[in-house]
Chains A and B, each alone.
Chain A
Amino acid sequence: AQKITQTQPGMFVQEKEAVTLDCTYDTSDQSYGLFWYKQPSSGEMIFLIYQGSYDEQNATEGRYSLNFQKARKSANLVISASQLGDSAMYFCAMREPSGAGSYQLTFGKGTKLSVIP
């Protein structure tokens, strides 16, 4: 079963508008973390934002904010004032413990965001 679900394979948004990218997760752990990454066409993976399961406030980083709804197990990424440079693949990931004091990130399948001028 998928642990991270991103239901939107592709999305379009008008420049300067806000957009929400969906992410739901499945875990029985009490302590976990949620990450969002951006992968532009150049291929690198850029860390955007992190939300811990015990964080009471939604995480924000500049134009990125994470709408964390713990009871619904969702961690949607909100990008405000979209820019052309936001066009990219966006991946949601969950940190899971993997033993011996380490953890791994499990990724969703990604959402391709296209910003329209």
Chain B
Amino acid sequence: DTAVSQTPKYLVTQMGNDKSIKCEQNLGHDTMYWYKQDSKKFLKIMFSYNNKELIINETVPNRFSPKSPDKAHLNLHINSLELGDSAVYFCASSHGIFGTEAFFGQGTRLTVV
């Protein structure tokens, strides 16, 4: 069984469109994250949710809006996509502050053309 699953794995879309990436974890974790990996492979946190509440919101354009309907899901909606949004987006989950492991989804490669 996949612990952290995100869909779709690949997403190609035109500039200006709105798209969503879904993430679900079945580990019973209470904290979920979105990370962005740029073309140089650098991973940077975008958002963190703990028990459905937003904890971290790094300097991310407000075109990006996370939604957590419950503790097991954290979706990422992106409005008015731009070329610079092309990247790999990873969802991850962990168990609170004492977590000794954090698991990542398989990533979504977003290409904006």
- Interface residues contributed by chain B, number (CB under 8 Å): 28
Q: Considering only CB atoms, which chain B residue lies closest to A46 in the complex? A: B104
Contacts of A33 in B (CB 8 A): 99-100
Interface of A, secondary structure class, is strand
Q: Say if the beta carbon of A101 comes within 8 Å of chain B.
A: yes
Contact among A39, A91, A100 with B55 in the assembled complex (CB-CB below 8 Å): A100
Given A100-B55, A102-B48, is A45 in contact with B41 using a C-beta cutoff of 8 Å?
no
Q: Which residue of B lies closest to A45 (CB)?
A: B104
* Contact segment of B13-21, B70-78, B88-96: B88-96
Q: Is the CB of B97 within 8 A of A44?
A: no
Known: A43-B106, A44-B106, A98-B55. A109 touches B94 (CB 8 A): no
Q: Is A12 an interface residue (CB 8 A)?
A: no
Q: Given A43-B107, A109-B42, A110-B41, is A101 in contact with B102 using a C-beta cutoff of 8 Å? A: no
Inter-chain contacts of A45 with B (CB < 8 A): 90, 92, 104, 107
Interface size class of A (residues with CB under 8 A): 20 to 34
Closest chain-B Cβ to A70's Cβ sits at a distance in Å of 17
CB distance from B48 to the nearest CB of A (A): 6
**Inter-subunit contact B56/A101 (CB<8 Å):** no
B81-113 CB contact bits vs A (8 Å, 1 = yes)? 000000010101010110111111011010000
Q: How far is the CA of A73 from the CA of B96 in the complex (A)?
A: 24
Query: Within residues 23 to 48 of chain B, which ones have a CB less than 8 A from any CB in chain A?
Result: 31, 33, 40-45, 48
Question: Do A109 and B100 touch across chains, with their CB atoms under 8 A apart?
Answer: no
How many inter-chain residue pairs (CB < 8 Å) link A and B? 70
How far is B41's CA from A33's CA once the two chains are assembled, in angstroms? 22
Asked if B79 CB lies within 8 Å of chain A CBs, one says no
Q: Which residues of the other chain, B, contact A101 by a CB distance below 8 angstroms? A: 50, 96-97
Task: Give the Cβ gap from B11 to chain A, nearest Cβ, in Å.
Answer: 13
Q: How far is the CA of A39 from the CA of B50 in the complex (A)?
A: 26
Partner of A107, one of B42, B103, B106, B109: B42
Residues in B with CB closer than 8 Å to A91 are 43
Distance in Å: Cβ of A68 to nearest Cβ of chain B: 14
